[in-house]
């Protein structure tokens, strides 16, 4: 059996699309069961926020601008 270091080196030698697929599968193998009620709440919130942006109720801001604003608030 290969060591974690050997597996890492082998994985890093793969083409980027293969590495991305491998990473996705590894992350999925770590995910725990999610409470359906919590998943439904998150999905509904995401859809609501999407709809608010689409219908102009709220104005989206650039991610970097959002981080800058948060940093200013924390100073």
Query: Same structural domain for residues 27 and 40?
Result: no
Biggest CA pair distance of the chain = 56
Query: Same structural domain for residues 44 and 70?
Result: yes
User: What was the pLDDT predicted at 57?
Assistant: 95
What is the rounded end-to-end Cα distance, in angstroms, of the chain? 50
Q: 29 and 21 in contact (C-beta within 8 Å)?
A: no
Predicted confidence (pLDDT) per residue in 4-27, tens digit: 999 999 999 999 999 999 999 998
- Predicted confidence (pLDDT) at residue 1 exceeds the cutoff of 90: no
* Domains held by the chain: number: 2
User: What was the pLDDT predicted at 34?
Assistant: 80
Range of the domain at 14: 1-31
Query: Same structural domain for residues 41 and 57?
Result: yes
Predicted confidence (pLDDT) per residue in 14-67, tens digit: 999 999 999 999 988 887 778 889 989 999 999 999 999 999 999 999 999 999
User: What was the pLDDT predicted at 29?
Assistant: 87
Query: Same structural domain for residues 4 and 18?
Result: yes
| Rounded distance between C-alpha atoms, residue 34 and residue 29, angstroms | 13
């Amino acid at each position: 059996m290969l060591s974690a270091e050997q597996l890492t080196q082998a994985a890093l030698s793969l083409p980027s699309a293969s590495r991305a697929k491998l990473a996705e599968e590894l992350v999925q193998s770590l995910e725990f069961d999610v409470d359906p009620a919590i998943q439904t709440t998150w999905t509904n919130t995401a859809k609501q926020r999407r709809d608010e942006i689409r219908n102009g109720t709220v104005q989206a801001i650039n991610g970097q601008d959002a981080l800058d604003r948060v940093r200013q608030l924390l100073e």
